[in-house]
Amino acid sequence: MRIGFVSTRFHGTDGVSLEAAKWAHVLEENLGHQCFWFAGKLDTDPDVSYLCPEAFFEYPGIGAIQKALFESDGSRPQYLSDEVESFSSDLTAELRCFIARYELDMLLPQNVLAIPMHVPLGLAVTNLAEEGMPMLAHHHDFSWERSRFDHGCAADYLQRAFPPALSDQVLHVVINSRAGRDLLERRGVPSSVVPNVFDFENPPPKPDAYGDDFREQLGILPDEILVLQPTRVVPRKGIEFAIELCCRLQEKLGRKVCLVVSHAAGDEGFEYLEELIRLAGQLAVRVMWIGERVREDRGNDANGRKCYRLWDVYPHADLVTFPSLYEGFGNALLEAFYFSRPAVVNRYSVYIEDIEPHGFQVVTMDGCLTDQVVHDAARLIDDKEKAAHWGMHNYRVCKEHYSYRALRQGLGDLVGRLAG
């Protein structure tokens, strides 16, 4: 089959883009399908891609529409409905061109029918579903999981398209059990659970000379403890806990600790970043915000500075922090397990229900950084043998439950059902 992936962006190292790439790999390399890409920002192969700038959530005009839809209560003014309809109509036409150009058999919307970051695009995809275009919709997080979508004047749009209750044309996939229950209760829509995965059947490549100088290039001293926070800078990631942990580790171990935050801020504004910078200053914790130095590919930035892949960074981490308040699943946590790094994890709801029962060995916290958590994290840093043992154990657990093999089975069944 010829399958078209659709989203606001397939670019960079955000979770949706990374997971979509894994799905495409399995669909093409293991199941024999062909994949094509539609988004407003792309770094995919141009020969199989359709760039539509209006589909990006930061396209001029879209930000104003989103702000008006979700920051003002009451009835929706006619001008706003007209703008949404105009963008939706244009995007529907672009999607039809995408389908025609590559003679697609089905669409695979990636989160674009789940969280309303771009309402006109979600409506456009729903238009095509209502016309009978088969779809396998992959949902990472829903509007009801984000408080900023609780109010506004877009309730009818959310009911129609986020996600659409069109069981004849659309098969729905969620990434955790709770999301599946919520989708059924709120929309009456059944779904299949396909968790995030990594290629645990093939271990990560060994560090090479390119990444060896990461500490030196970033100015991290050899005797500094490197704590890695491998996430975007958004409030739900709980990065304030990572900063506090680093402060208390410095006191307990008598050594300097450097917190390295791998991804950039901006997806949800910069206020949270400013709060974190103030907190780090108050607690005398050195934080390196290296989002501009971590990219999909190695190379140099516009200023000639050496850039790294995130996979170059993991081998240097003495500890990985994952203090999220909420996650749809936890792609970065799986990545830490892939590199057998010791981790501190806040027990968010999906971790408790779907991940923890498999028996991972990590330092856990329950929304509070206790003395015991600090003690256990410090011990992992000091006891390299124990950290290595935990890393090997976690890798084996992931190989059984979160490998590409599991994804092959799930996707094969779903695409087969959709194809009849």
Report the pLDDT value the prediction gives residue 329, as an integer from 0 to 100.
87
* 351-392: pLDDT as tens digits: 999 999 999 999 999 999 999 999 999 999 999 999 999 999
Q: How confident is the model at residue 331, as a pLDDT? A: 85
The closest alpha carbon to 113, from 140, 152, 134, belongs to 140
Q: Are residues 33 and 135 in the same domain?
A: yes
Residues 273 and 137 in one domain: no
Confidence label for 34 from pLDDT (cuts 50, 70 and 90): very high
What does the alpha-carbon distance between residue 122 and residue 127 come to, in Å, rounded to a whole number? 9
Q: Average pLDDT, stretch 116-136?
A: 97
pLDDT of residue 269: 78
| Spatial separation of the C-alpha atoms in residues 84 and 8, rounded to whole Å | 16
Are 135 and 224 within one domain? no
Cα–Cα distance measured from residue 22 to residue 41, given in angstroms and rounded to the nearest whole number: 18
Q: According to the model, what pLDDT value does residue 295 have? A: 86
Shared domain for 223 and 145, answered yes or no, is: no
> Does position 13 have pLDDT exceeding 90, yes or no?
no
Q: Are residues 241 and 303 in the same domain?
A: yes
- Per-residue model confidence (pLDDT) at position 239: 97
Has residue 158 been placed in a domain?
yes
CATH number at residue 8: 3.40.50.2000
Q: Are residues 80 and 213 in the same domain?
A: no
Residues 392 and 302 in one domain: yes
pLDDT of 163 reads 96
How many independent structural domains does the chain possess?
A: 2
The chain-wide mean pLDDT, for the chain, equals 94
Whether residues 161 and 240 share a domain: the answer is no
Instruction: Report, in angstroms and rounded to the nearest whole number, the Rg of the chain calculated over CA atoms.
Output: 22
Residue 204 in any domain: the answer is no
Range of the domain at 141: 2-197+404-419
Q: What is the pTM of this model?
A: 0.83
- Least trusted range by pLDDT, from 57-66, 182-191, 299-308, 324-333: 324-333
pLDDT attached to residue 265: 83
- Asked if residue 327 belongs to a domain, the reply is yes
Distance between CA atoms of residues 325 and 346, nearest Å: 7
Does residue 256 sit in the same domain as residue 153? no
Q: Do 121 and 108 share a structural domain?
A: yes
Written as six digits, the tokens of 120 are: 């006109």
β partners of residue 261: 229, 289
* pLDDT greater than 80 at residue 268: no
**Residue 203 forms part of a structural domain:** no
176 shares a domain with 257: no
Same domain, 329 and 353: yes
